[in-house]
Structure 1
Amino acid sequence: VGRHCRLTKAIIDRGCEIPDGLVVGEDAAADAARFERTENGIVLVTKQMLGKL
């Protein structure tokens, strides 16, 4: 996990390298656009999704 990251209600796939400053779980619209998000606000982050950032 990089510096200054904030991960809230997130499931991070094995082997992911979270880049510096990434914020997950605080902005529903941004999370839904970049990652998979459930109705309950749980966010799934995979290597493939991170590769598209």
Structure 2
Amino acid sequence: GQNVRLKNVVIDRGVRIPDGLVVGEDPKEDAKRFRRTDKGICLITKPMIRQLSA
């Protein structure tokens, strides 16, 4: 996607990142939308991305 900012993420194979997605800058927001470790690494999967647009 365009205008994306990703920091400390693991992205599952085949995931298309939507335009404007920001991950890794707001721990509370990241924890609501993605699986986040105590060290701040976020996992991004297809179902998680689909949930964003639901």
Shorter-chain TM-score range: over 0.9
Q: What does residue 14 of structure 2 align with?
A: 15
CA RMSD, aligned part only? Answer: 0.3
Percent sequence identity over aligned pairs: 58
Q: What does residue 35 of structure 1 align with?
A: 34
Runs of 4+ that moved beyond 3 A: none
Separation (CA, whole Å) in 2 of partners of 1:43 and 1:25:
7
Q: What does residue 26 of structure 1 align with?
A: 25
Alpha-carbon distance, 1:50 to partner? 0.4
Separation (CA, whole Å) in 2 of partners of 1:21 and 1:50:
13
Q: Flag structure 2 segments of 5+ consecutive residues without an equivalent.
A: none
Q: Flag structure 1 segments of 5+ consecutive residues without an equivalent.
A: none
